[in-house]
């Protein structure tokens, strides 16, 4: 039995396999391909290198939803994910984290846009995709046998998200996620995963689910931000420390592979997000 299969056999309910054992060579392939693109003058999201077809095959072999995702907007969404992974693993602060936390962030990054349609729907964003992607991530973990959910549990999960979206007042025919379900989502995940402080699968799902709900970057304000009382019920200092990396590298990835005259200071983005995280920590301390 190889190392990967042995690890899966010995997993606890909330654990998640090592990302680099699940996807051997994926990070090194992305490093090589994205590095070759950084200095190019490209369009809004950057050109999509043909070499990424092999990267897609490696992910599709495990996650069937990737086949759907790569068809969205001419590969723009998957390329964004690859650039976000590249940005993350080249961050010195990320490389100083524990292996457990690195693994959580790698999985969250890979799956954070798994249900994103790509083309802008409401002023440049698909505002339903964080909830849809969080929903789908639990299904993926179940399909990969990281967790074994009963039929009743899956039906309960589906029922929660059946109330997860409502019409957008600003644009007729458009929908936006409904924050009224966030407590139900947290309670359901607590029920199946427990309440341990370090809870990798649950943390991955919540990072994805909330990745456009927290006010951290002025340039990208959430369409439906959580109210302070939700922060207190949902968030912890540990969660916010992990969320910092998702926010920073999700934003940074869109600024990579831009025209050579495009100016952007990564350190400014880091400072802004760190200040926002500190402010949220002060809010949750008031519990």
Mark residue 238 as left, alpha or beta (left: phi above 0; alpha: psi -120 to 50; beta: remaining): alpha
Helices (H), the chain: 3-9, 19-22, 26-35, 52-60, 65-69, 76-89, 92-95, 99-111, 129-143, 151-161, 182-193, 200-209, 228-234, 237-253, 266-284
172 CB contacts (<8 Å, ≥6 apart)?
none
pTM above 0.75, yes or no: yes
The confidence score (pLDDT) of residue 6 equals 47
Residue range 111-165, pLDDT digits in tens: 999 999 865 555 556 778 999 999 999 999 999 999 999 999 999 999 999 998 8
Q: What three-state secondary structure class fits 176?
A: strand
At residue 227's C-alpha, the angle toward residues 226 and 232, to 5°, is: 95
Of 39-48, 145-154, 164-173, 242-251, the least confident? 39-48
Taking alpha carbons only, the member of 194, 189, 240 closest to residue 213 is 240
Q: Is the pLDDT assigned to residue 249 strictly greater than 80? A: yes
pLDDT tens digit string along 274-287?
A: 999 999 999 998 75
Burial category of 92 from C-beta neighbours within 10 Å (exposed 0-12, middle 13-18, buried 19 and up): exposed
Q: Say if CB 269 and CB 249 are below 8 A apart.
A: no
Please name the helix (run of DSSP H) or strand (run of DSSP E) that holds residue 177, with its range, or none: strand 175-177
| Length in residues, the chain | 287
Q: Between these two residues, 139 and 53, which has the higher pLDDT value?
A: 139
155-170 per-position pLDDT tens digit: 999 999 999 888 877 7
């Amino acid at each position: 039995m190889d190392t990967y299969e042995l690890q899966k056999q010995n997993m606890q309910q909330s654990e998640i396999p090592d990302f680099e054992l699940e996807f051997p060579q994926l990070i090194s392939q992305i490093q090589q391909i994205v590095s070759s693109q950084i200095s190019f003058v490209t369009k809004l999201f950057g050109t999509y290198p043909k070499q990424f077809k092999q990267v897609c095959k490696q992910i599709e072999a495990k996650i069937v939803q990737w086949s759907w995702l790569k068809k969205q907007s001419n590969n723009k969404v998957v390329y964004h994910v690859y650039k976000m992974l590249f940005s993350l693993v080249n961050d010195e602060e990320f490389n100083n984290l524990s292996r457990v936390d690195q693994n959580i962030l790698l999985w969250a990054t890979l799956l954070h846009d798994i249900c994103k349609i790509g083309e802008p729907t409401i002023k440049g964003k698909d505002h339903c995709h964080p909830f849809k992607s969080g929903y789908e991530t639990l299904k993926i973990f179940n399909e990969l046998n990281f967790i074994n959910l009963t039929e009743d549990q899956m039906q309960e999960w589906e029922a929660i998200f059946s109330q997860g979206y409502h019409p957008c007042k600003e644009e007729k025919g458009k929908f936006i996620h409904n924050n009224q379900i966030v407590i139900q989502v947290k309670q359901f995940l607590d029920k199946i995963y427990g309440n341990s402080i370090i809870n990798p699968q649950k943390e991955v799902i919540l990072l994805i689910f909330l990745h456009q709900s927290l006010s951290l970057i002025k340039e990208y304000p959430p369409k439906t931000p959580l109210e302070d009382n939700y922060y207190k019920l949902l968030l912890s200092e540990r969660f916010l420390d992990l969320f910092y990396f998702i926010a920073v590298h999700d934003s940074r990835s869109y600024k990579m592979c831009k025209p050579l005259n495009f100016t952007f200071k990564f350190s400014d983005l880091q400072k802004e997000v760190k200040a926002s995280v500190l402010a949220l920590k002060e809010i949750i301390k008031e519990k």
